[in-house]
Amino acid sequence: MKSPVHRSHNKFIMAKSTKLNASSSPKDFEAGLTELENIVTSMEEGKMSLEASLLAHKRGVELLQYCQATLQGAQQQVRILEADTLKKFSSTNFDEK
């Protein structure tokens, strides 16, 4: 039989997971990554109920997709900036010196 402390801890985690399941986007990449890391840590502890684990997993997938999309957007911006910079750089005529 589970101890009262374990049960209350499980309820706390479940409540926390339910809050996390709000399906809202994080305020920024860093907040999303931090929330994802917290979910992974909680799940690795192995103290979550099955229902709480499923909710946490669902939220984790949402956060992972958000973080990946954010990174892809940033990578695309860097490619565009680098292409523009390289274009300007290569258009400079060095033979004039």
Whether residue 84 is contained in a domain is answered as yes
Number of domains the chain is built from: 1
Whether residue 96 is contained in a domain is answered as no
| Neighbouring C-beta atoms of residue 15, cutoff 10 Å | 11
**Which CATH number is 11's domain given?**
1.10.287.1040
Whether residue 68 is contained in a domain is answered as yes
3-class secondary-structure state, position 96: helix
Whether residue 61 is contained in a domain is answered as yes
Considering the entire predicted model, what is its pTM?
0.64
pLDDT (tens place) for every residue of the chain, 97 residues total: 444 444 434 444 444 544 544 579 999 999 999 999 999 999 999 999 999 999 999 999 999 999 999 999 999 999 988 887 766 666 555 555 5
Whether residue 32 is contained in a domain is answered as yes
Range of the domain at 74: 4-90
Phi-psi region of 10 (alpha: psi -120 to 50; beta: other; left: phi over 0): alpha
